[in-house]
Chains A and B, each alone.
Chain A
Amino acid sequence: MATSAHTSAPGGAKPPFPPFNKDTFASQLVWLAIFFVALYVLMWKVAIPRIGGIVEARRERVEGDLTEAARLKEQSDAALKAYEQSLADARARAQALANETRDRLNAEAEERRKKLEAELNARLADAEKTIAATKAAAMANVRGIATETAGAIVQRLVGAAPAAKTVEDAVSDVLKG
């Protein structure tokens, strides 16, 4: 079946070195031309567009994903900013409300305290008056009792009742002294 190209070398002479055997050049060139051109066309028309398309599609996909991620990040940043803003607003409002309430309550308490104080002062004054009156009355009673007691003591000691006027004067002297 397979016959070496150099078997035609004349008279059993040493066959030529295969790569330099001119007899094989024509066949090699023809088939090289056919297969190389076929490969070139296949590469040019099919393989390169296909692989290029795949690589390009991947690059676009990655780029698209990156821009999408950047967009989402921007969105979340804006949301965060808005949230912080509303938080700060709420805090400021709460502060204002608290201040106002505290002032109002302080004022009310102050007023109540003043009223109460005034009332207490009035009652204190009343009480003092009552005490003074009671004390005066008591003192008056004390004089009567003292006079009677003195008269009774003198009568027991002396045996004769002294004049009421004398006893009264003596008691007045003592109470004054």
Chain B
Amino acid sequence: MADPISQFEIKNLVKIAEIGGSEIHFTNSALFMAITVVGIWALLVGGTSARALIPGRLQSIAELSYEFVANTIQSTAGKEGMRFFPLVFTLFMFILVANMIGLVPGTFTVTSHIVVTASLALLVFFTVIFYGLYKHGLGFFRLFVPHGIPIYILPLIVFIEVLSFLSRPISHSVRLFANMLAGHITLKVFAGFVTLLGGLGIAGVIGAALPLILVVALTALELLVAFLQAYVFAILTCIYLNDAIHPGH
């Protein structure tokens, strides 16, 4: 039985360069990032090549995802949030497609690595800080000073606000990473039970039915999680960007 952790191993496929002591390889992770990008490209550009007035299936999916993300931004960050539409749409599609591809048995899940999710979360974090400072200057720091707070507890509130702001990239990245990691481990463990019990003769084959049913159910659940985590990542991005656009609460 393959151990449930081996699916997360980074395998070096081609060595590209060595920078400052760390080797840069083309890895299985990079391969699946490429597949993700090509898949998104095929869906959004290939699917809309007809530019049909009445869309086909692929074009419907492309338009649906476009309008879904656009509505998410407008409902959380308002019209001005549409400035960040390319960023949010790219994040959403990248995470969604990477999660979905990762659910195919034998593939690698790009988003199951903390370094990937943390990079994306930090990208959002610094975008918020830089855009907030660029747009509002020091007024951006009003974000940490809520209105209507008595002066004697204000320092405490500001401290908490700053702390929660700084912890955003952690929760933002760990949520996606942990969901993907835990989901894939669970699937692998139950799938392992199926093969393990199946090798024990007739009684084992009958006993393997339960974990098999569970694997099917868990796969359905993981499909939901794959979409939900991409959506959660995108909507949190919108909420954080809203702080940069309207820091005055």
Contacts and interface: CB of A to CB of B under 8 A. Distances in A.
A32 interface: yes
A33 B85 CA distance: 19
Q: How large is the interface on B (under 10, 10 to 19, 20 to 34, 35 or more residues)?
A: 35 or more
Interface of A: 1-6, 17-21, 23-33, 35-36, 38-40, 42-44, 46-48, 50-55, 57-58, 61
B30 A31 contact: yes
A21 B13 contact: no
A129 B177 CA distance: 139
Interface stretch (B39-47, B136-144, B157-165, B235-243): B39-47
Given A19-B177, A32-B33, A35-B30, A47 B116 contact: no
A14 to B, nearest CB: 11
Interface string B14-51: 00000100111111111001101100110011001001
B30 A19 contact: no
Interface of B: 5, 8-13, 19, 22-30, 33-34, 36-37, 40-41, 44-45, 48, 51-53, 55, 59, 62-63, 66-67, 85-87, 89-90, 93-94, 110, 112-116, 119-120, 177, 181
Given A21-B10, A35-B30, A55 B63 contact: yes
A26 B11 contact: no
A33 B13 CA distance: 18
B248 to A, nearest CB: 29
A40 B85 CA distance: 11
A28 B116 contact: yes
Nearest to B62: A51
A30 B24 contact: yes
B114 A3 contact: no
Contacts of B23: 26-27
B54 to A, nearest CB: 9
A51 B44 contact: yes
27 contacts: A1-B13, A2-B13, A5-B9, A5-B10, A18-B8, A20-B114, A23-B22, A24-B115, A27-B10, A27-B29, A28-B10, A28-B29, A28-B113, A31-B30, A32-B119, A35-B30, A35-B37, A36-B33, A38-B37, A40-B90, A42-B37, A43-B44, A43-B90, A47-B48, A48-B66, A51-B48, A51-B62
